[in-house]
Structure 1
Amino acid sequence: MRLNYLILCIGLLLANFACQDNIPVPKPKAQIRLEYPKGELSSLETDNFKFKYNQFARPRLNSENAYTLDYPEMKGAIFLSYKKINSNLEKLIIDAKRLSYEHAVKADNIVEQPYVNPDKKVYGALFEVQGNAASQSQFFVTDSTKHFLTGSVYFYTKPNYDSILPAAAYLQNDIRGIIETLQWK
């Protein structure tokens, strides 16, 4: 009987030490939280259109109808290309969609979001490319008679969707702003 009592006391004593929180526990790896400030809007005006863009972007004219909005802090850019419509609207739309869906090989999903603003005569679509594709967003807009503008987001790094997701979402929001403030001339 005494032996059982002794074993019980030793067991309770060991259980008391085992339940204390003094045991070191490994911490999970931390993730960097990337937050980008909401920028003021500036205007970009060309002979064919104008729109408002984020002031954190550095606009650059690449050629007569090609522009880049560079985001140096994110190591990314929005590339824009303008074309006049010459009875080739259907071909331009097909080419813009084909360019977006070429990323399907690496993409997990492509979400197409149509855009229609009859007051400003701006019609088009935004393609959100999810996954490790080269471009995270593509879009095209047109007035369906004279003007056609395409754009895409690229980063100056190997695509890793999880790492660039905050920057891709930020630039995608800027694309929405470009589309919503676009005015044809």
Structure 2
Amino acid sequence: MRSLIFFLGVFVFVSCDPQTQPKPSAYLSLEYPEKVYQKISILRPYSFEVLASSKLIDEQEDWLKIQYPALKASVSITYRKVDHNLGELLSEAEKLVFKHTLKADEIIYKDFSNAKKRVFGSIYEITGNAASQIQFHATDSTNHFIKGSLYFYTTPNYDSILPAVAYIEKDIFHLMETLEWND
């Protein structure tokens, strides 16, 4: 009986030792606005719909920047006229995607095709701590070529920005689905 009381006494004192556990870092919880789209109002050789709460920045040479101020992110759109150089434009776009392989865990590509609107392209999702998490390009194969890249204004930490990447990725798919060439 004494040994049982002794054992219980030792157990109580040993098990009650307060050890502090480090707490994991917390990340900011982002709130996402409701998805309402509108057609871009800036005159370009192309048009598409963007999130109404995003901000459009008019840039030179028919380029465009779509900013997401609340998410501290932007999608940069570059435009090039196709002049018997489609292979060069596609190669350049792919080089920019695969430039991220050093920091990327994986690069997943999805082809996009809308023959009715003459829009053909690819979307690349770059997982890991790369500088750009999504890149895409689209062309009509004869006259127009656009390339887009998603960037966040912060040091890449893929785990913490993943919800924002998923949110903007839906907008990029919508952009591709509504893309039209203005001939």
TM-score bracket for the superposition, by shorter chain length: 0.7 to 0.9
2:160 pairs with 1:177:
no
Aligned-partner Cα distance in 1 for 2:70–2:31: 12
* Cα offsets for 1:15-50 (capped at 9, x unmatched): 6x57x99x7875853643434233211111534111
Gaps in structure 1 of 5+ consecutive residues: none
C-alpha contact 2:97 2:135 (8 A) present in aligned 1: yes
Look up the match of 1:37. Answer: 33
Question: Separation in 2 of the partners of 1:47 and 1:136?
Answer: 25
Of 63, 77, 101, the match for 1:80? 77
* Alignment match, 1:163: 160
Matched, 1:112 2:109: yes
RMSD of equivalent CA atoms:
2.4
User: Displaced runs of 4+ in structure 1, greater than 2 A?
Assistant: 5-15, 23-35
Aligned partners of 2:108 and 2:126 also within 8 Å: yes
Partner of 2:47: 50
Larger Rg: 1
Q: Aligned residue for 1:59?
A: 56
Deviation at residue 103 of structure 1 after TM alignment = 0.8
Q: Tell me the distance in 2 between the aligned counterparts of 1:27 and 1:100.
A: 38
CA contact (8 A) 2:103 2:129 kept: yes
User: Which residue matches 2:128?
Assistant: 131
* Whole-Å separation in 2 of the counterparts to 1:93 and 1:12: 74
Q: Normalised by the size of structure 1, how large is the TM-score?
A: 0.85
Identity of aligned residues (%): 37
Where structure 2 has 5 or more consecutive residues not aligned to the other structure, the ranges are: none
| Number of the residue aligned with 2:4 | 8
Paired residues of 1:35 and 1:166 also in contact (CA < 8 A) = no
Q: Distance in 1 between matches of 2:150 and 2:72?
A: 11
TM-score by structure 2 length? 0.86
